[in-house]
Homo-oligomer: A and B are copies of this chain.
Amino acid sequence: MGKYSDKILVTGHKNPDTDSICSSITYTNFKNKLENTDKYAAMRLGNVSDETKFVLDYFNMPEPALIEGALEEGDKVILVDHNEKSQTVDGIENAEVLEIIDHHRLGGLVTATPLFMRVQPVGCTGTIVYQMYKENGIEISREMAGLMVSAILSDTLLFRSPTCTEADKIAGKELAAIAGIDPEVYAKEMFKAGSNLCEKSAEEIFNIDCKKFEMGEKVITVAQVSTINSDEIEDIHKKVSDFMGEGIKASGCDMAFLMITDIINESSTVVCAGEGAIDVMTDGFEVEANGDAVYLPGVVSRKKQMVPAIMGAFK
């Protein structure tokens, strides 16, 4: 009857970022309040990042529980902040997918039965969850507001990413007021907590926020880290180069990319591994290669800038 058949699981993607963790908690709270129940449970598919840890500590909220192993027949699940099979819980084909709340491209998932799905081209799942609280007249506590605004600030890089829409700004402003934070000051502290990259190994850096995509026959990995410290970018690049070059052979992926995003200067250094990967970047963005990397001014969004460019190369 399923491992978790007494609960409906609400989970973000593997290698969870702040939006995945915060949206699973806040959407669970929304559903439980809306239906006056406690049957929805916030879950996660991996360790929380340093950035997310800062957010949960700041608002004194516990981590969601970890889903261990694969789902089974009888399990029921709601996916937030993702809709791709390669990014979701193992055993998804056994479970019933009741809902998807997301802001990404459509990624090829198949379900057996009709579902509720709300996907909007906004900067953050937190913005959609905020709208659902408002539309249904559910009160937003300081803690829930804090998690939602943290997700928005994280995903939109303090409203500066090209993915950021008017709806994200409206939500962010109102939520910051409820949470009692100054977005500028809070976001910089949050990014700093998540920027602790130099102490990490190459493998740890690559896996902080790493997403897998299936494009036709190819399997592509696109990881991203952000920093507010421009000086450490070249050090990170050097540290991950060998790991990525070796790792690509072992991982079964065809290409791997790591975006090292400079939040302050709104640019990314993208380290490439796998045959033809560097060409995908130089052709897609019309830039010169610098060894195994490219420098992309203005490029900060995996979803809106990197993935479409990579998909363009596989058409």
Contact = CB atoms under 8 A, between A and B. Distances in A.
Given A93-B315, A315-B93, A104 B114 contact: yes
Q: Dominant SS at the A interface?
A: loop
Interface stretch (A39-47, A49-57, A169-177, A302-310): A302-310
Given A106-B97, A315-B93, A304 B115 contact: no
A5 interface: no
A117 B114 contact: no
A116 B114 contact: no
Contact of A105 (B106, B110, B163, B304): B110
A311 interface: yes
B114 A304 contact: yes
A64 B105 CA distance: 28
A284 interface: no
Contacts of A303: 114
Interface of A: 83, 93, 97, 100, 103-121, 163, 303-304, 307-308, 311-312, 315
Q: Which 5 A-B pairs have the closest CB atoms?
A: A117-B119, A114-B121, A106-B111, A108-B110, A112-B311
